[in-house]
Chain A
Amino acid sequence: MDVILFLIFALIAVVCAINVVVQTHPISSALSLVGVMGSLAVLYLLLGAEFIAAAQVIVYAGAIMVLFVFVIMLLNAGAEARTGRSYLIPGAPLLIIFLGVMAFLVQRIFPDTTMVRFGGFTGGGPADIGHALFTTYLLPFEVTSILILVAIIGAIVLARKEIE
């Protein structure tokens, strides 16, 4: 059952990710990226990360992708034009080599001793995350809020109209 669930959603994720790269229109890429994020949320649930799965749907698929779609609509972005030189010739073999090395290392370092079962790890609920966030990771959490503040100010400064 877990294997079937994993295979279905891994397949959806990979197909949608290929679609992100292949589609020429940005809005199609954005909708495919939403598909990737949704199927990754299901895989997070399978790994026992309930809070992260919810945050994935709300923050990534909900907030960030809406921002992307909003900018695509605002700029009226059409299909991209083929200009300049393509990096397909040097890039594609390098990527295939990278994938091969990664798959080899993963199979070698992690022989199938750890099996993932639904419910095998129950420490990923909101209470556990909150406890860790406000005890062990309190300083990174506070630094994160400063980062958000900097991002807000930066976005306002970049997007405002020039005042004479």
Chain B
Amino acid sequence: MMNAVPISWFLTLSAILFALGVAGFLFRRNIITVFMSIELMLNAVNLSFVTFSYQHKEVSGHLFTFFVMVVAAAEASVGLAIILTVFKGRSTLNIDDVNSMKN
């Protein structure tokens, strides 16, 4: 009994990490930290993919995790380029100051 971990523990850990990522996304004002919170959410989803892959003894979950990693890499490169462009134009990283599409 003590030698094996229930599968629900992994899923609960995934939910906790996802909730923390959402919290960072909502509460933080620094655009880079907001971006890192998105990466945290992607990691939480990856953990549940791998856990379900273990449950069904199936390799598909690993493939989806792999694709999520690729999408995260593409997203990071484009997103950080956008952050660089925004910083060049406005000299700020605060997302409250970047609101020209609001009005």
Decide if A and B are genuine partners.
yes
Distance in Å from the Cβ of B87 to the closest Cβ of chain A?
A: 5
Q: What 8 A-B pairs are tightest by C-beta distance, nearest first?
A: A151-B74, A115-B4, A84-B96, A158-B81, A102-B15, A112-B6, A80-B30, A21-B24
**A137 to B66 CA separation, bound complex (whole angstroms):** 11
Q: Could you tell me if B43 and A36 are in contact, using CB atoms closer than 8 angstroms? A: yes
A 54-82 to B, binary, CB cutoff 8 A, 1 in contact else 0: 01100110011001100110110100111
Q: Could you tell me if B33 and A80 are in contact, using CB atoms closer than 8 angstroms? A: yes
Instruction: List B contacts of A116 (CB < 8 A).
Output: 4-7, 10, 51, 54
**A82 to B63 CA separation, bound complex (whole angstroms):** 41
Instruction: List A contacts of B33 (CB < 8 A).
Output: 20, 26, 29, 80
Q: Could you tell me if B32 and A77 are in contact, using CB atoms closer than 8 angstroms? A: yes
Interface of B is mostly: helix
**A1 to B65 CA separation, bound complex (whole angstroms):** 26
Q: Could you tell me if B36 and A68 are in contact, using CB atoms closer than 8 angstroms? A: yes
**A93 to B59 CA separation, bound complex (whole angstroms):** 37
Q: Could you tell me if B93 and A80 are in contact, using CB atoms closer than 8 angstroms? A: yes
Instruction: List A contacts of B24 (CB < 8 A).
Output: 20-21
Q: Could you tell me if A115 and B6 are in contact, using CB atoms closer than 8 angstroms? A: yes
Instruction: List B contacts of A129 (CB < 8 A).
Output: 59, 62-63, 66
Q: Could you tell me if B47 and A159 are in contact, using CB atoms closer than 8 angstroms? A: no
Q: Which of A36-56 contact B (CB under 8 A)?
A: 36-37, 40, 43-44, 46-49, 51-52, 55-56
Q: Could you tell me if B54 and A120 are in contact, using CB atoms closer than 8 angstroms? A: yes
**A124 to B84 CA separation, bound complex (whole angstroms):** 38
B 15-57 to A, binary, CB cutoff 8 A, 1 in contact else 0: 1110111111011111011011101100100110011011101
